[in-house]
Amino acid sequence: MSEFVKFIRSQGIIGLAMGFIMGSAVGKVVSSLVQDMIQPAIGLIFGSPEGLRYLKFHSIAYGNFLASLIDFLIIAAVVFLLFKCFRLEKLDGKK
């Protein structure tokens, strides 16, 4: 049991688990932001009162792709900013 506790402490498993849980929560918040606020606004700009997901050009439904792309870009930006703010690049150094 002591080796297991030592392994968890030395490998940062707890931090990894907390990061996974926080990443999931941030993903839900960003998805809600994009879905409930950004998509309807962009949809109205492009002339779709239902929102961004329903935009089409003839039979090509590009709105859903744009919504997913916006979602990804915002999540990537938030993760990058958190990474830089907490200076996590130092955690990857050699021991």
What is the mean pLDDT of the segment spanning 68-88? 80
Residue 5 lies in a domain: no
Q: Which domain holds residue 45?
A: 23-87
- In whole angstroms, give the CA distance from residue 63 to residue 56: 7
Considering its fold, how many domains does the chain have in total? 1
> Which residues lie across from 60 on neighbouring strands?
57
Residue 45 lies in a domain: yes
Residue 67 lies in a domain: yes
Q: What global pTM score does this model have?
A: 0.58
For 39-65, letters b (16+ CB in 10 Å) and e give bbebbeeeebeebbbebeeeeeeebee
Residue 34 lies in a domain: yes
Q: Is the pLDDT assigned to residue 8 strictly greater than 70?
A: no
pLDDT band at 85 (very low <50, low <70, confident <90, very high): confident
Residue 63 lies in a domain: yes
